[in-house]
Structure 1
Amino acid sequence: YWGRIPALGLGCAVGFMGFARGISAALNVSAAVTTWAFIGLIVGTVPSLYREAGKEGHSRASWVSMGICAATIFGVLFYVGRVLSVQLEPNFWSFTLSGALFGLGIVIPGLAASSVLMALGL
């Protein structure tokens, strides 16, 4: 099986770069449509998340905590994206930050790394 690892790595690299170029092209054509497409993909997971979280029932405290968390995240992302107007330069450290946020998005349930990356201009 060790002989397949280089081919797998090459396939992953080509797929990642192809996807990144596709997203870049979509952003160049229409940034607003592409941004709303990502927002739609994120919001589309809400029904599944609602069903999974509701297996043990929904209490009033769970609704309140959800509202507080959603408002806090919206406020922080709005502040970073609109008030601070953060635009990171594409360099080694911004790519490292992007990779770390992507990794956290995989490990931490519910973290949409794409939202944070879009707020940072990446």
Structure 2
Amino acid sequence: MKARIGIIPEKVLRQRLIEIAKGERKPQPDEPRVWFSSINAAGQALSNENISLLRLMDEEKPQTMTELAELSGRKLSNLSVTLKMLSSYGFVSLEKKGNTVHPKALFTDFEIIVDPSVGSVHRAA
């Protein structure tokens, strides 16, 4: 389960989203669906600890957040915040079942695409 994510400057991303909204640009099927404005931002979301958590979820398939907290050794409150963040990027689904939430890893591996405009040097004329 591999997700393709992209790194693109915020200004370029905003312009891209405006073009898509206006119908001037159509996203390609192989383009990343999740974009970060920097490698640092991607690194915070996809830390070693979070990737390990995703893989643990995929392997152990916990049925509840409490079960995942026990498996991972993390506090439930901390785990909840992390899973909500990972869910906001589409890396985790949090399915409500009665009074419980079933966490499911949707991706365990990541391919990072860096836009050519990242890190480019602009020189004054």
For the criterion TM > 0.5, the same-fold answer is no
Q: Please identify which structure carries the higher helix content.
A: 1
Q: Please identify which structure carries the higher strand content.
A: 2
When normalised by structure 1's length, the TM-score is 0.26
When normalised by structure 2's length, the TM-score is 0.26
